[in-house]
Structure formats: C-alpha cells, structure tokens
Amino acid sequence: MSSYQDAPSLTADSSMLLQDLAYQMIQRDPDLRMRQGHQYDLTRPEDREQTMRQIARVVEIQRQTRDERFVQALFKAMCFYSEAFSQRTYVHKALFRQALELFGTAEQQDKWLDDIINWRVYGCFSMVTTDSSTACSLFVACCPLSIIRCL
C-alpha cells in the first residue's frame, strides 16, 4: 500500500508517480476527500469547515514528510481536487503573505512572518477598488482582514 512515506524512495523523474500517490492519498484520507458530494452542494460554513480541515491535514502531512517534492505534488493535486482549497491557499501564499513581506514593517514581519510561512497562522487578504471603471465601482466596499491563529 502506497503512502506519502514511500515518496522519498522515488527518483527525480517520477513526478507522475508522485501525482498519482497524492491523488491516492486524497481518496483514502477522510480529511482530504470531499465528505458530502460536491463542494457546491455545501453551505458556506460547511465549505469553510471542510476546506480548513483539508488545509490543516496537508500542513500536518507537510510536517511529517521530508520529501518536498511529494508535498508540492500533494498541494498541486489538492488544488485540482478542491477549488476552495486552491483559492484559500493561493490567497494565503500569494496575497496575504506577500502583502506582509512587501509592505509590512520590520516589527510586523518579525512578529508574523514565521507563523505565516509555517502555517501556524492562516490569513485572508481582500482588496476592492471602488474608483475603477468596472461595475464594482457601484458597490460600497467592506474589506475585512481576518487572521486565524492555529496552535
């Protein structure tokens, strides 16, 4: 039976095998696979709970394995498998983390960056431009910033 612990023995030319192993893990792991039908059948709170459970499980697996190639394959497979996972991890890595790296003060970076990089803090970044020529300019923007600290 294959598991992520088998991944370190694979060769560098085995990215397809790593992807297959990642998809097998998703199907077998109750925290990674969809619990109730399709994502669009879930309520917003159910979708949020399921997605955060998936992120927490992938982070747990990342901490357990030493093979970064497998972790990358698992993240990629989860992004294809779950749109919500893809969106939330992208927002965390590409927007929330980058905003702190580029625009945060040294004090803010010292306080938060290590926790963000190591997924001890999950973040959400939102931005709305109201002075644009799009239909969005007709709406009043409310842009909350939420930070969830995980122990």
Token readout for 134 is 């799009």
Kindly report the average pLDDT of the chain as a whole number. Answer: 77
Same domain for 70 and 138, yes or no, is no
Token readout for 29 is 């792991």
Residue at which a domain ends, from 81, 114, 136? 81
Contact 78, 58 (CB under 8 A): yes
Same domain for 75 and 9, yes or no, is yes
Q: What is the per-residue pLDDT for 22? A: 93
Domain total of the chain: 2
**Half-sphere exposure in the Cβ direction for 118 (13 Å, CA):** 9
pTM of the model: 0.68
Same domain for 98 and 57, yes or no, is no
Q: pLDDT per residue over 95-143, tens digit each? A: 888 888 998 899 999 998 999 888 888 765 555 555 555 554 444 444 4
Burial of 132 (0-12, 13-18, 19+ CB in 10 A): exposed
Same domain for 72 and 5, yes or no, is yes
Q: pLDDT per residue over 10-69, tens digit each? A: 555 578 899 899 999 999 999 998 876 677 788 888 888 888 899 999 999 999 988 889
Q: pLDDT per residue over 56-73, tens digit each? A: 999 999 999 888 899 999
